[in-house]
Chain A
Amino acid sequence: MVIVINGAARHVADDLSLDRAVSLVSDAATGIAAAVNGELVRRASWQSTRLAAGDEVEVLTAVQGG
Chain B
Amino acid sequence: MTDWQADDPLLLGGQKFGSRLIMGTGGAPSLDVLGRALTASGTELTTVAMRRVDPGSRGSVLDVLTERGIQVLPNTAGCFTAAEAVRTAKLAAEALGTTWVKLEVIADEVTLLPDPVELLDAAEQLVAGGFTVLPYTNDDPVLAKRLEQAGCAAVMPLGAPIGSGLGIRNPHNIELMVQAASVPVILDAGIGTASDAALAMELGCDAVLLATAVTRAREPELMAAAMRSAVAAGRLAYRAGRIPKRRYALASSPAAGA
Interface residues of A, Cβ cutoff 8 Å to B: 6-7, 25-26, 28, 31-33, 35, 38, 40, 42-43, 58-66
Given contacts A63-B51, A66-B211, contact A38 B94 (CB under 8 A): no
Q: Mark B114-142, 1 if CB is under 8 A from A, else 0.
A: 00000000000000000000000000000
The CA-CA distance from A57 to B38 in the complex, in Å, is 33
The CA-CA distance from A9 to B91 in the complex, in Å, is 22
The CA-CA distance from A65 to B162 in the complex, in Å, is 12
Contact, CB under 8 Å: B60 / A62:
yes
Given contacts A31-B95, A35-B91, contact A64 B52 (CB under 8 A): no
Contact, CB under 8 Å: A33 / B62:
no
Contact, CB under 8 Å: A65 / B51:
yes
Interface size class of B (residues with CB under 8 A): 35 or more
Contact, CB under 8 Å: A66 / B94:
no
Count chain B CB atoms within 10 A of each CB in A32, A40, A61 and give the residue with the most: A61
* A66 contact from B26, B34, B52, B55, Cβ within 8 A: B26
* B49 contact from A28, A38, A66, Cβ within 8 A: A66
B residues 34-55 in Cβ contact with A at 8 Å: 34, 47-55
The CA-CA distance from A33 to B78 in the complex, in Å, is 17
Contact, CB under 8 Å: A59 / B51:
no
The CA-CA distance from A11 to B224 in the complex, in Å, is 47
Given contacts A63-B48, A64-B28, A64-B61, contact A35 B87 (CB under 8 A): yes
The CA-CA distance from A65 to B51 in the complex, in Å, is 9
Residues in B neighbouring A59, C-beta threshold 8 A? 52-53
Q: Mark B43-79, 1 if CB is under 8 A from A, else 0.
A: 0000111111111000011100000000010110110
Contact, CB under 8 Å: B50 / A60:
yes
Q: Is residue B196 within 8 Å, beta carbon to beta carbon, of the partner chain?
A: no
B residues 96-113 in Cβ contact with A at 8 Å: 96, 102, 104
